[in-house]
Homo-oligomer: A and B are copies of this chain.
Amino acid sequence: MRTRPLKVALLGCGVVGSEVARIMTTHADDLAARIGAPVELAGVAVRRPDRVREGIDQALVTTDATALVKRGDIDVVVEVIGGIEPARTLITTAFEHGASVVSANKALLAQDGAALHAAAGEHDKDLYYEAAVAGAIPLIRPLRESLAGDKINRVMGIVNGTTNFILDKMDSTGAGYQEALDEATALGYAEADPTADVEGFDAAAKAAILAGIAFHTRVRLDDVYREGMTEVTAADFASAKEMGCTIKLLAICERAEDGASVTARVHPAMIPLSHPLASVRGAYNAVFVESDAAGQLMFYGPGAGGSPTASAVLGDLVAVCRNRLNGATGPGESAYAALTVSPMGDVVTRYHISLDVADKPGVLAQVATVFAEHGVSIDTVRQSGKDGEASLVVVTHRASDAALTGTVEALRKLDTVRGVASIMRVEGE
């Protein structure tokens, strides 16, 4: 084994960073044996240098992250600051000064992954980011490497623990959204400002990253259709139950049937209770992958938290260190397929639509005509009503999102349709 240590600079020492530092210290011998050389924490960049950080030598702590990544003797920079800046500049500076990078930064990777990969490639350095998607769950490496000889057709997952906790709570207790969110906040599963989670921004970033890797195509954050789960109601869960379904916030990356284009989207959807994703409880994450040869695979585990995220970061750290000792780099960006990323209108799926309608003869015929005119075929209709008001629940066959949108617009114009109570996609059948 090489005795000269590989030097690691840690950018950020919050929940994840402190756990990375702790494991690097307590498991130093194991890491050295697995890498083939010891690893040494050479510096820790933080915003608040005065905070006491147990187990971290105060002499390593600095507020000057830029100087740290510019030192020139750093082998690997571990970036767990999050956000776009200063993380982006620090990572590119790290490459320029000879370091490889391990990052857990989903927002940055989703927005600027291509440029960062290019910077890594230019300097012949590694950029690894297993921790950016689904925390501890090995997902990026299996997609990039284990399935490198296969053709992936769909990646569908629960990639946000906060929203899964809320939806699971609504499902199991019948609570409304606000009540479930309050509990998630009280238990620390939701942040004070939960927007990034509940509006699907976090999941959309992960969808962009996953789609890019799965389809060997650049998928920008703007390419991902995004719909949050704040409008999901207890009534929606009741409807889902009647269908033998539950509701999950899903990130879905799909290859079109003709193989020439892909789509990526995040939205709440009904999935059958028999689907493996339906039984993913609490804040757990799980990602379902369908490919030509392997068939259906699922990866399940904790999607967030200091320790799980640190596990993913350290796995990458070991890989990057091994590569460095080998004088090699791992697989970089693979975007050779350059498939078209189609808009949401091209997505084909099934829909569950609840309408409030007038309770009089001919309404069903009128509604059915609108569906037919837009080429959306109806699978089942359930009508219930009293006191002159009725509700119609329509479940469609597969249709494009554009056709469904046109249908709904036309339905809203019917005098007999008082309102569209909810529209929910049905997935995983």
Interface string of A31-68 (1 = CB under 8 A from B): 10110000000000000000000000000000000000
The B-contacting residues of A in range 1-25, CB under 8 angstroms, are 19, 23
Given contact pairs A27-B151, A130-B146, A138 touches B315 in the complex (Cβ within 8 A) = no
Interface string of A305-333 (1 = CB under 8 A from B): 10110111111111100110011110100
Decide if A298 is an interface residue (CB 8 Å cutoff). Answer: yes
The B-contacting residues of A in range 293-312, CB under 8 angstroms, are 293-302, 305, 307-308, 310-312
Name the one of B138, B141, B151, B300 contacting A30, with C-beta atoms under 8 angstroms: B151
Decide if A244 is an interface residue (CB 8 Å cutoff). Answer: no
Decide if A149 is an interface residue (CB 8 Å cutoff). Answer: yes
Decide if A191 is an interface residue (CB 8 Å cutoff). Answer: no
Q: Are B149 and A318 in contact (CB under 8 A)?
A: yes
Number of chain copies forming the complex: 2
Task: Report the minimal beta-carbon distance from A11 to chain B, rounded to whole angstroms.
Answer: 17
Interface string of A249-285 (1 = CB under 8 A from B): 0000000000000000000000000001001000000
Chain B residues in 8 Å Cβ range of A307: 292-295
Decide if A182 is an interface residue (CB 8 Å cutoff). Answer: no
Decide if A238 is an interface residue (CB 8 Å cutoff). Answer: no
Size bin of chain A's contact surface: 35 or more
A99 CA to B252 CA in the complex, in Å?
40
A366 CA to B413 CA in the complex, in Å?
81
Task: Report the minimal beta-carbon distance from A179 to chain B, rounded to whole angstroms.
Answer: 25
Chain B residue nearest to A326 in the complex (CB): B328
Name the one of B27, B146, B316, B334 contacting A315, with C-beta atoms under 8 angstroms: B146
Chain B residue nearest to A20 in the complex (CB): B149
Interface string of A330-372 (1 = CB under 8 A from B): 0100101100000000000000000000000000000000000
Chain B residues in 8 Å Cβ range of A146: 130, 138, 141-142, 312, 315
Decide if A93 is an interface residue (CB 8 Å cutoff). Answer: no
Chain B residues in 8 Å Cβ range of A33: 216, 334, 336-337
Given contact pairs A149-B314, A279-B279, A315-B149, A300 touches B301 in the complex (Cβ within 8 A) = no
Please give me the 8 A-B residue pairs with the lowest Cβ-Cβ distance, nearest first. A149-B314, A138-B146, A136-B294, A293-B311, A138-B142, A297-B301, A294-B311, A148-B318
